[in-house]
Amino acid sequence: MRTATRPSPTQSTAREGRTGYDHLIPHLEQLAEAPEGSSTRRDLRDYVIRELQPLVRNLSRRFAPGGRGIEDVEQAGMLGLVKAVDRYDPASASGGPLGFFVPSVRGEMKRYLRDHSWSVRVPRDLKELAVTVQRTADTLGQELGRAPRPSELARELNVGVDQIVDALGALDSHRARSLDAPAGDGAESGDGIPLGEQMGDDDPDLDLAAHRGEMNALIRELPERERTILMMRFYGDRTQSSIATEMGISQMHVSRLLSRTLARLREGLAEQD
C-alpha cells in the first residue's frame, strides 16, 4: 500500500482554512486500512492526532469553566480524540472528520467535568439538571434584570419547582467550604467557632444514599426469579435453605443465583460511577 505524501505545515493550514479538516480524509482512510502494529499505521495515527490537536484545544476553551483547569480539560479531550482515531471507520464518518471526532472529544470533556468538578458527589441526573438550571438562570437574569425565581426557572425548563430547588441545592455543592472557616455571622450562630467543630458524627448510611436510586433501578431490571430470591434473602432475612424449599430448587442453585445477581448489580453500579 502506498503511503500518501504528508502536506507541509503551510499547505495543511491553508487547506484547513478552506475546508476545515477535510484534508485529513485520505489519511484517515489509509489509517483505517493499515494493518495493526504496522509502522505505516503508527505514522499515520501520530500525524492525524497532531493535526487534530487544534480542534481539541478550541473545544477545551469552550468547556473549561471560566478558563480554570483548561489543561486538564484539554488532556481529557485528547484522550477522547485518541479513542476516536483508533476506531475511525470511513463508513460511519459521512459528516466528515468534524462530525466524527467532535462528539467523542466533547463527550470525554463532559465526562471529566462531571466526575471532577464537584466537591460533593451528586447524582448524575441532578447534576445535569443543575448545570442546565445555572445556564438558564444566567440567560433569564439578563432578560429580567434580576435573579429569576425558582417558579420562573421551572416554567422555562418545563420541570417541577421541587426539582429546581434540588438543582439549586446541588449547585451549592459545587465548591466545598473549608471546615476551618467560622460558621455563621453572629454570636448566636456560633461566630468564631470552626464549622468542623460543630458537625455531628458520620452517618454510615450516607455512603449508600447516592447509590440507592441507581440500585433500585438495577434491581427492577433483574429477571423475576433472581429479583424474588434477592428480596427474600436480603429484605426478608430468609436463609438460603428456606428460599430453596419455597422456590423448589437446591440450596446450591440459590447460592449460585445470588452470587451471579450480586455480581451483576456491582457491575451495573460501577458502570454508572
Return the amino acid letter for 200: G
**Does the pLDDT of residue 7 top 90, yes or no?**
no
* pLDDT bracket for residue 185 (50, 70, 90): very low
* pLDDT bracket for residue 14 (50, 70, 90): very low
**Alpha helices, H only, the chain:** 9-19, 25-33, 39-63, 70-86, 96-116, 124-144, 150-157, 161-171, 206-220, 224-230, 240-247, 251-272
The pLDDT of residue 17 is 38
From CA 118, how far away is CA 272, in angstroms rounded? 16
The pLDDT of residue 9 is 39
- Residue with the larger pLDDT of the pair 112 and 152: 152
Q: What percent of the chain has pLDDT over 90?
A: 13
The pLDDT of residue 95 is 67
Q: What is the pLDDT of residues 85-133, one digit of tens each?
A: 988 888 776 667 788 888 888 888 887 776 665 555 566 677 778 878 8
Q: What is the pLDDT of residues 60-75, one digit of tens each?
A: 887 765 555 688 888 8
Mean pLDDT for the chain?
Answer: 77
Q: Which cell is 76 given?
A: 481529557
**Does the pLDDT of residue 83 top 80, yes or no?**
yes
- Residue with the larger pLDDT of the pair 189 and 110: 110
Q: Please, which residues have CB within 8 angstroms of residue 110's CB and are 6 or more apart in sequence?
A: 63
The pLDDT of residue 179 is 58
The pLDDT of residue 162 is 84
* Residues 235, 239, 245: CA angle, nearest 5 degrees: 110
